[in-house]
Amino acid sequence: MIKYPNGKIYDPETKQIQTSKAQKTRTKSKEEVSLSAANRGMDLERDINLSCDFYREKDLALIYKRPTPINVVKVDYSKGAKIINAYYEEQSTTDYNGVYKGRYLDFEAKMTKSKTSFPLNNITKHQITHLKKVILQNGIAFFIIAFSTYDKIYLLDASFVIDFYEHGERKSIPYEVIKQEGIEIKRGYYPRLYFLEAIDTQYFSK
Amino acid sequence: MIKYPNGKIYDPETKQIQTSKAQKTRTKSKEEVSLSAANRGMDLERDINLSCDFYREKDLALIYKRPTPINVVKVDYSKGAKIINAYYEEQSTTDYNGVYKGRYLDFEAKMTKSKTSFPLNNITKHQITHLKKVILQNGIAFFIIAFSTYDKIYLLDASFVIDFYEHGERKSIPYEVIKQEGIEIKRGYYPRLYFLEAIDTQYFSK
């Protein structure tokens, strides 16, 4: 990605220069944009969602965040179907799925403040089971793992994580291992995260 | 599918005979099972969901129903994150998506009581836009259309429906056209609907 002095940005994905109008519609303020990721605090979910929006608008990929499942207990129909009692449920699948170049994509995004390793205890058994089923159907399954301290984000193939989860001696994957086995996801403006590039490198370049 | 007198069922998908135990866990009562679809009234969504469960358990396909999106307005954290004000939102995508043989699947299920045609007015513009994007990404996109009067269910490729939606002179697709252009989805017990067979015929046999 090339940033021009006039604020315009060259996007290698679309091979287009983004106009400042596009910038305006996609961001809340110039100040927000100019703050570095480290300064404003990493918001992995927002960055992935904005990237999905970008890829969807440009017809490069179709990826959606799955809504957090909600168990609806009571609906008040006298007020136009107002839900008055409900609870969030644990996600039994992953956060994101979609389609890219005909292939099914399925991934979970996780962030850690750790400087040394990615702890596996925030991945549920349900998610592992789900990702194994994705792989069995020849879908593309991976994790996006962010180390907020370093402001580094990696794509890590799910089969590697599953293997670690089920057979690893440690309950975490060392940062050095992720650096070696993962594909780094570069940051940009549009998209915020170049994760299609990382997907290309991992799954479409062989 | 072959039904044995002892209640056991031969499943051509898995080439296995279902035990009565499996039957018990998958159905609420024997009475319910023995009623014909016409008698008990067609419940398309339930039948698709049960079929997805079956295919998922047998590792034949991984398909989930997307939850109806809910706009959460207010959460009471004093009561353990109880949602006390929320509304259902219109689904901007389709009801189901998943993966089968590596390909991305995306479909919407609709039922009509009409004897002559499938009305297009219960398909939203958002859904058409979504399905066009699925096709653009080389995903498999279709409709499952049920005519409850005849107890007949068809798979109809989304591109055909989109063409009718956007360029057709009528605001409905005649039943005779669907019979000719669609693939009939056979009914069974496990699964309730053999829609993978229909998908194979439509998308994997050429």
ipTM above 0.85, yes or no: no
Strands B103-112 and B140-147: parallel
Cα gap B129→B108, rounded to integer Å: 13
| pLDDT > 70? residue A40 | no
Q: Is B62 on the interface with A (CB under 8 A)?
A: yes
Strands B117-119 and A117-119: unpaired
- Give per-residue burial for A25-62: e unless 16+ CB within 10 Å, then b: ebbeeeeeeeeebeeeebebeebbbbbbbbbbeeebbb
Chain A residue closest in CA terms to B101: A137
Tokens (6 digits) for A199:
């997907």
Q: Is the pTM of this model over 0.90?
A: no
Q: Which residue has the tokens 């002892």?
A: B6
Size of interface A-B (CB pairs under 8 A): 103
DSSP 8-class letter at A183: E
Q: What is the pLDDT of residues A135-181, one digit of tens each?
A: 999 999 999 999 999 999 999 999 999 999 999 888 999 999 999 99
Chain A stretch 104-143, residues whose beta carbon is closer than 8 A to a beta carbon of chain B = 104-106, 130, 133-134, 136-139
Q: Determine the pLDDT at residue B19.
A: 43
A3 contacts A12 by C-beta, under 8 angstroms: no
Q: Quick check: B62 and A139 CB within 8 A? A: yes
